[in-house]
């Protein structure tokens, strides 16, 4: 049984989450809660970010159980107090008598969350009353006990009580966003309602499914619950590329590139030479249920490693201004990237907290993942969490057997020589016309001497 100091540490962290909201990014900064996570719930591979998401999922389970208890007995005081804490955390966004809506965005205003929490108590109390330490501490202490009761083995901390795990923080790798569009084969959205099953004893030992995504031939390994039918790069308006090293190209080779009027030919030229897309990339992934039963995709984590932008040979062919519309976003600038859906009017809501992607045997879904960065060069894999019966697996999808790659550009308009970070530069499209008075075809530019666009062209 944990010490009183450990329980007090958890209570302090719950108090902080009540003020800031219990998003996974906030939970990652709570070492006592991360250390308390029961061993059966520790995800693999074990990272602080994944632990934070697992603790977040446990919070939602407790809230869901309290909602069920309240629906069965409206006078259940314990259920109402748990829902009140859920409102403080931003997990409960509906009041008594309202239809539960996990997708509704939580208010960023603490007073609003306190007022909602107060409405759940019996009798209801005002937001100002909920500010009082005694009232709030009573509710949070009860919630801490509810967590222990919900997870019987949760009273045996996985780590050392009250200490910060050695790997609590990992580097924030990129200022980036991953944008996803998920549609059924016939072009409509087909999402199933979210729920999380209690893992069985056999599921507790489930191993990570390594590299059971797509190999060199775009086929899945035998036994994977989801088959990756194909991974295809989607051309974007931003058509710049970069090589890690310095490369010289002849006029004849540059003429082979073509232009963005034939994106298939244009992209193929760079992909055949192992170039990396600049600033953003978009990939269309076709998934198919490959189990004897319906499986669910309950999460998507971008497993990334990032460093400085590539500065070998830069082919600049910037967008002329058109944007790519997206439906779901995940900000990788945060320690934990919550995938969010954007509703009409710009309102955002956590997606996988309230939904899952369901695949019946043989059923296909298309997932389009758009990754962008403005500061780094990143290599990443896509880790899909799959629930297949009583097994919880992580299925990794790669770019034809290798990590996906994207690099920010190293152009710095504040410098006298904005391209001087590169060893070689070729500009095309609107950049060719602006920089070299060119006709849009790629032409070399000296990164050490170029200072500004020409004032006028002949």
Instruction: Give per-residue pLDDT as tens, 387-398.
Output: 888 888 888 889
Of the given ranges (183-187, 329-333, 426-430), which has the lowest mean pLDDT? 183-187
Of the given ranges (86-100, 164-178, 339-353), which has the lowest mean pLDDT? 164-178
Please say if the pLDDT value at position 202 is more than 50.
no
Query: What tokens were used for 249?
Result: 């190209």
Average pLDDT over residues 432-440: 71
414 band by pLDDT with thresholds 50, 70 and 90: confident
Query: What tokens were used for 336?
Result: 């934990």
Please report the pLDDT score of residue 350 as a whole number: 61
Whole-angstrom distance, CA of residue 445 vs CA of residue 314: 10
Q: Residue 278 burial by CB count (10 A; 0-12/13-18/19+): exposed, middle or buried?
A: buried
Please say if the pLDDT value at position 118 is more than 50.
yes
Instruction: Give per-residue pLDDT as tens, 5-59.
Output: 778 889 999 999 998 889 888 898 899 999 998 888 888 888 888 999 999 989 9
349 touches 340 (CB < 8 A): yes
Instruction: Give per-residue pLDDT as tens, 120-162.
Output: 998 888 877 787 778 888 899 999 988 888 875 444 443 333 3
- Helix, coil or strand: residue 5: helix
Whole-angstrom distance, CA of residue 285 vs CA of residue 397: 9
pTM above 0.85, yes or no: no
Please report the pLDDT score of residue 41 as a whole number: 85
Please say if the pLDDT value at position 347 is more than 60.
no
331 band by pLDDT with thresholds 50, 70 and 90: low
Please report the pLDDT score of residue 14 as a whole number: 93
Instruction: Give per-residue pLDDT as tens, 55-85.
Output: 998 999 899 889 988 888 888 889 999 999 9
Please report the pLDDT score of residue 200 as a whole number: 30
Distance of CA 366 to the CA centre of its chain: 17
Please report the pLDDT score of residue 83 as a whole number: 94
DSSP 273: T
Whole-angstrom distance, CA of residue 262 vs CA of residue 283: 18
CA distances from 436 to 210, 319, 450 (A): 48, 17, 10
Please say if the pLDDT value at position 175 is more than 60.
no
Q: Residue 258 burial by CB count (10 A; 0-12/13-18/19+): exposed, middle or buried?
A: middle
Please say if the pLDDT value at position 244 is more than 90.
yes
Of the given ranges (14-23, 98-107, 302-311), which has the lowest mean pLDDT? 98-107
Task: Quickly count: other Cβ atoms within 10 Å of residue 179's Cβ.
Answer: 20
Stronger pLDDT, 332 or 139, i.e. the higher one: 139
Instruction: Give per-residue pLDDT as tens, 313-322.
Output: 998 887 544 3
């Amino acid at each position: 049984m944990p010490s009183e100091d450990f329980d007090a540490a958890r209570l302090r962290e719950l108090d902080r989450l009540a003020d800031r909201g219990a998003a996974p990014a906030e939970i990652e900064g709570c070492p006592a809660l991360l250390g308390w996570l029961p061993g059966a719930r520790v995800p693999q591979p074990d990272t602080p970010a994944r632990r934070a998401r697992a603790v977040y999922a446990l919070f939602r389970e407790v809230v869901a159980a309290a909602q069920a208890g309240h629906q069965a007995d409206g006078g259940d005081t314990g259920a109402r107090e748990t829902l009140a804490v859920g409102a403080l955390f931003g997990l409960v966004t509906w009041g008594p008598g309202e239809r539960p809506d996990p997708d509704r965005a939580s208010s960023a205003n603490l007073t609003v969350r306190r007022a909602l929490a107060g409405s759940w108590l019996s009798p209801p109390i005002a937001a100002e009353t909920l500010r009082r330490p005694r009232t709030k501490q009573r509710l949070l202490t009860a919630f801490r006990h509810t967590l222990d009761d919900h997870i019987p083995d949760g009273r045996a901390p996985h780590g050392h009580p009250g200490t910060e795990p050695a790997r609590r923080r990992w580097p924030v790798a990129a200022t980036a966003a991953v944008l996803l569009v998920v549609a059924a084969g016939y072009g409509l959205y087909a999402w199933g309602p979210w729920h999380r099953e209690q893992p069985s004893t056999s599921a507790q030992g489930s191993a990570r499914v390594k590299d059971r995504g797509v190999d060199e031939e775009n086929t899945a390994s035998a036994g994977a619950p989801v088959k990756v039918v194909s991974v295809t790069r989607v051309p974007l308006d931003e058509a710049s590329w970069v090589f890690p090293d310095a490369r010289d190209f002849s006029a004849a080779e540059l003429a082979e590139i073509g232009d963005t009027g034939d994106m298939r030919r244009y992209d193929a030229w760079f992909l055949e030479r192992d170039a990396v897309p600049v600033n953003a990339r978009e990939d269309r992934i076709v998934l198919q249920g490959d189990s004897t039963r319906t499986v669910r995709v309950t999460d998507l984590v971008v497993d990334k490693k990032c460093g400085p932008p590539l500065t070998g040979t830069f082919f600049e062919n910037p967008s002329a201004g058109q944007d790519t519309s997206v439906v779901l976003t995940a900000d990788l600038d945060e320690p934990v990237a919550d995938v969010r859906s954007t509703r009409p009017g710009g309102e955002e809501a956590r997606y996988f907290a309230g939904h899952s992607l369901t695949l019946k045997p043989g059923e296909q879904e298309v997932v389009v993942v758009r990754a962008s960065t403005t500061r780094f060069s990143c290599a990443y894999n896509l880790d899909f969490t799959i629930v297949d019966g009583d097994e919880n697996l992580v299925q990794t999808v790669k770019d034809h057997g290798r990590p996906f790659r994207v690099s920010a550009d190293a152009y710095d308009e504040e410098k006298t020589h904005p391209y001087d970070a590169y060893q070689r530069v070729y500009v095309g499209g609107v950049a060719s016309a602006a920089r070299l008075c060119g006709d849009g075809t790629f032409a070399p530019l000296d990164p050490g001497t170029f200072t500004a666009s020409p004032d006028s062209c002949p």
